[in-house]
Amino acid sequence: MNEENIQVRYNTLDVSSIKSFCMINSGCSGNIKDVYFLRFKGIYAELKDDIEYMDKQMLSYMSQGLICYDRINSLDLLNNTEKIDYYSRSFQNWKQGNCKEISIKASIENILLRKVISDACKNVLCELKKTDGVMNESIEKNFVIKLLFWTDLVFEKANINWEIKRNIKIVATNVNKKHEYLFYYFLTRIGINVLLIQNSIDIPDNLRMLNLSKERNFGNFEEIDIKPFNRNVNQSVDKNVKIQTSVSSNNSAPVKISMSAFRRPDRDNTQINNSNNIQTTSSRIESLSISRAREEMSFEELANLASSVVMIAIHNKKGEVIGTGSGIMIAKNGYILTNNHVASGGYFYSVRIEEDENIYETNEVIKYNPMLDLALIRINRQLNPLKVYDGKNKLVRGQKVVAIGSPLGLFNSVSDGIISGFRVFNEVDMIQFTAPISNGSSGGAVLNMFGEVIGISTAGIDSGQNINLAMGYECINNFIRGFINY
């Protein structure tokens, strides 16, 4: 087999049911691998029974060593700094030409898999560009890092020992986010058959227009209770199969503070019991600018800049609001800066802008950094960004500041205070300030008297009075580099 030219050929047979998906055995002739990328929409009376049948059938095939299989309800969030660094180095080495192929943990000893993954990354990045329009190295890097992380995770959970001829099947339910959908397409590019069961929601129009998956409509969308796949039920699979529980730490705080009384001004969510008093704030990060000359402003003038600070509602998979936070406009073409702890727990987000009756929904998390607790989201709207401070003069204690955010869901509240100190928590520099903030303020703007963003509201201490913390402009500027356009 010529390892330099592996190709995939899609949907050569008409697979019209879950049971027929169970039966397909995608062949490999020469350098051509037959794969299936299917999307079944809506529900029908026997849907749950068919899924149960599929799981049992796949377990039987797995016990005979005929197939690798997994059914995925949701993909884990990547918030492990060590793993981020690992996949980041792999991407950079490939991008800069230091090595010919991208390497993941599953491909360390598999040269052909590294080649196939590298070709698949190039292909999927082309598809991403069709939906994105604007592309830069940072967007590419963060997207590929997620692809590599999810691939290793799927390989480990499904105990996949990859060969191009091996029959591998992955099933996922209700995939709607762009990066997740393109990940499943990525799996097909490396020879894995994928079925998406879309019983309650379908992919958005911009993804359907790519014509990557073959769709079949079975009826109306409806939420139904589908039990997670349990590979331990009636299992006679090889004892060497490694079972790993995937853990999604939606409330984990990238900036870990060892103070028991420390809290993060997190999402406004009175239904969540924060027994440890640790809460987080919500918003995404980008560099902001204002078109006026640099001159000290009055508090009334600074309050008018609230039109460039947004309120973000965080929705779960059912569309329910599970919390609110804040965000800062940092670029004209839709980029909004917020905290990672805000963005990491949502399935999608809705954004409110002052004096605009529209609600802007998005599931685009462009970039995130758990260590700095920063994230960048994007909406489809032209924005009036704020300018991020350039640091020509150092910030000092006693300097006046204004905080703008949506504490407890009170849209764009404005408060004033001073910088009371500069702190380091787990090697992360933060600004301590006195302007009052509360749950829901996370991701809001902390401004100097020139209307420049000097920090993003990130945390506070419950047991103290107005002891609040912001991630500073240095980290913000580094994080949003390449996205700013005022």
Spatial distance between the Cα atoms of 104 and 122, rounded to a whole number of angstroms? 15
Spatial distance between the Cα atoms of 349 and 331, rounded to a whole number of angstroms? 18
Spatial distance between the Cα atoms of 3 and 408, rounded to a whole number of angstroms? 58
Phi first, then psi: what are they for 307, rounded to 5°? -65, -15
> pLDDT of 400-411, one tens digit each?
999 999 887 788
Sheet holding 32-35, edge to edge: 7-10, 32-35, 28-29
Spatial distance between the Cα atoms of 251 and 100, rounded to a whole number of angstroms? 38
Domain coordinates of the chain in residue numbers? 7-217, 262-480
Spatial distance between the Cα atoms of 106 and 168, rounded to a whole number of angstroms? 15
| Chain Cα centroid distance, residue 142 | 9
Residue ranges of the chain with pLDDT lower than 50? 1-2, 234-292
Give the SS3 label for residue 240.
coil
pLDDT score, position 4? 55
The 3-class secondary structure across 24-55, one letter per residue, is: CCCCEECCEEEECEEEEECCCCCHHHHHHHHH
Question: C-alpha distances in angstroms, 370 versus 201, 428, 443, 465, 479?
Answer: 29, 12, 14, 27, 12
CATH number listed for the domain at residues 262-480: 2.40.10.120
Question: C-alpha distances in angstroms, 39 versus 195, 277, 287?
Answer: 6, 43, 39
**What pTM did the predictor assign?**
0.60
> pLDDT of 198-238, one tens digit each?
999 999 999 999 999 999 999 999 999 999 998 875 443 33
Q: CA gyration radius for the chain? A: 24
pLDDT score, position 145? 93
